[in-house]
Amino acid sequence: MSSDAPSTAAAHTAHCGIVLHPAGHTRSPAMHRAAYAALGLDADYTVYDVPPERLAATLDDLRTRGIVQLAVSIPHKRAMLELVDEVEPVAREIGAINTVTRVGDRLVGANTDWLGALRALERETRLEGRRAVVLGAGGTARAVVYGLVRRGAETHVLNRTPERAERLAQDLGARSAAGLEALAGLRPEILVQTTSVGLEEDRSPVPAEALPEGLVVLDAVYAPERTRLIADAEARGATTIGGKWMLVHQAVEQLRIWTRRLDPPPDEDAFEAVETVMARAFDEAGRDVAHRRHAAHRPREGADR
């Protein structure tokens, strides 16, 4: 703990974590711990692998144990809406919570995925008035569409199940909705991929020929870092943004929600560095996963020696 750490955190180790199922190889602990170190915060980060039927009991338990902040991942983002004491209006509108923060005695649910996607996109392009297509109609799509519509982009939603896209478009004010095959006809300037296609597989939800030139593409899938869609888009000269950047920016926003309540809060300039620190931790955690996978497949020569 460094001497210039915020006094609130100095009193005791702040207990943070992530709830998801299955846990798999989540990189969030590495990212958040690296950020705590960079900001001089005395905090720990625990992974809670919790099936849906145990979510409510786990949250009760964590509440009793004084959890300060909990990231919420698949498949709990919707269910959490019913379990917290208060839901921030944006998270209510999106219909998903990815962050629970203790405020006094209350657990407050928020959503930072939409900001993560916007920050990642806005590093590369202007959004207002641009034609954007979002692939997918799940929780992540809802967050992304909310952000794009709020920034004034002309937003279209395409999904394998078009009825879900239609419902999403109606709820959040997108311009149109259809099946994935409508992409070629729309000729978007911005494309955000939020389906689970491409996760740990060499597959894209749309054919390469449907990608127009001059596109800016964000793929929310971050493992592998270079998805099939990103590779296809690059081959057509697109500007591409990996899901890592959405993950990093949404994580930075999570940290802001908690630490702005500290006395004193961390300096805003420090958050610039936190972005870099989290991105580096993401890369290192990825190398670690690859190393462990490689080791798991190697013949166990000498293991009994």
Ligand X SMILES: NC(=O)c1ccc[n+]([C@@H]2O[C@H](COP(=O)([O-])OP(=O)(O)OC[C@H]3O[C@@H](n4cnc5c(N)ncnc54)[C@H](OP(=O)(O)O)[C@@H]3O)[C@@H](O)[C@H]2O)c1
59 binds ligand X (CB under 6 A): no
Which residues have CB under 8 Å from 269's CB, separation 6+? none
2 binds ligand X (CB under 6 A): no
255 binds ligand X (CB under 6 A): no
DSSP one-letter code for 9: H
220 binds ligand X (CB under 6 A): yes
- CB of residue 109 to ligand X, shortest distance in Å: 16
| Residue choice 160, 175, 187, 261 for contact with ligand X (CB under 6 A) | 160
CA angle (11, 14, 19) in 5-degree steps? 170
Choose the stretch contacting ligand X; rule: CB under 6 A; options: 29-37, 135-143, 146-154, 253-261. Answer: 135-143
Residue 155 in contact with residue 174, Cβ under 8 Å?
yes
Name the residue with the smallest CB distance to ligand X.
138
Tokens 């971050």 locate to 222
113 binds ligand X (CB under 6 A): yes
| Residue choice 23, 90, 199, 262 for contact with ligand X (CB under 6 A) | 199
Kindly state the tokens that stand for 64: 């009793």
For residue 114, give the H/E element and its range.
helix 113-122
Q: Which of 32, 76, 77, 156 is catalytic?
A: 77
77 in active site:
yes
286 binds ligand X (CB under 6 A): no
DSSP one-letter code for 5: S
Residue 91 in contact with residue 110, Cβ under 8 Å?
yes
- CB of residue 178 to ligand X, shortest distance in Å: 12
Which residues have CB under 8 Å from 202's CB, separation 6+? 228
Give the residue from 259, 280, 281, 279 showing the smallest Cα distance to 268: 259
227 binds ligand X (CB under 6 A): no
159 binds ligand X (CB under 6 A): yes
Which active-site residues does the annotation give? 77
Interface ranges with ligand X (CB under 6 A): 74, 113, 116, 136-141, 159-161, 164, 194-197, 199, 205, 220-222, 243, 246-247, 250
